[in-house]
Structure 1
């Protein structure tokens, strides 16, 4: 039976998938999912585990926080912010935001009514110079283009990545994968 690991954009399951393949004969299938689907993929059985971006409603899930991601603003290479290595939320107060004003940014201007769009589309808007986008650094790297750059925003909250799985499916093979994620070697015990 194949173990299925879902992951959201920006997550990098490669090192854990490689360790799984080195230790177990059971195949591991990687399943890319959008953030909006990260919980549902577990509930409907399309995946056994998910590398998810918190927050995630976990009443019926086990969830292990893994690491934090820095928030960055994606801007056109021609944007004045491109000259900096770090900015604060206050530095973004007069910007237009393609995906809405992030919590913690004091909005000093009336926002344009952008239509609903994907992060990839929002990065295209940022490349045009019409707006900026605040996303986790891994997502900015995923959607990197030659005509944009990203700058860390030092005082916005980080996002957290976690490994989640259904409580009712907490079996030996799930725990074997959890052990890999937690850094256990093939010779260590729980």
Structure 2
């Protein structure tokens, strides 16, 4: 077993419970947590920067093993005083004539018919986009974990019914599967310390 295991994770991923289980079961192999931008997730795996990673699909699966973990609900983030927060859930029809702010690190590829394109350049990232809508300019649509990650007191969010979900998955390079990777895959799949593979 190697001395360290590098686990990459994209923004919004919450692998804490798996890391806790790893630390209990694998006390002699240190887990190094490596934050990854979605744009870098495949490169980090292929280059061996990480042994495995919590990634956001789609990802080019060539040379990788990929196990989908869960789908994230999209949410509409808007300023705290927006009329959109008056309901518990939104439909795309509710967003007609809203200014749709799409950050450069957008992971949904969201297109909402009837929304208005901003008259300014796209924000560099999701945090900047949420700061923009906090100032009362438009809306941004992101997976719920990113809305939570970048939460501010001056914004709120509501689920977008029928919007594009975002799948989070575990991935690793097929040619670098080793006992540490197998052990982490087992933890993610819920195998107990005593269960055999399969």
Distance 1:133 1:117, change over 3 A: same
Within 5 A, what are the aligned runs for 1:89-100? Answer: 89-99=92-102
Counterpart-to-counterpart distance in 2, 1:90 and 1:112: 22
Say if 2:145 is the partner of 1:138.
yes
Q: Distance in 1 between matches of 2:161 and 2:173?
A: 34
Distance 1:107 1:53 in 2: 27
1:72 aligns with 2:75: yes
2:172 alignment partner in structure 1: 165
SS at match of 1:138: helix
Size of the aligned set, in residue pairs, is 190
Residue segments in structure 1 that go unaligned for 5+ positions in a row: none
TM-score by length of 2: 0.91
Change (3 A) 1:96 1:102: farther
Q: Which consecutive unaligned segments of at least 5 residues does structure 2 have?
A: none
CA-based RMSD of the aligned residues comes to: 1.5
1:119 paired with 2:121, answer no
Output the TM-score relative to the length of structure 1: 0.95
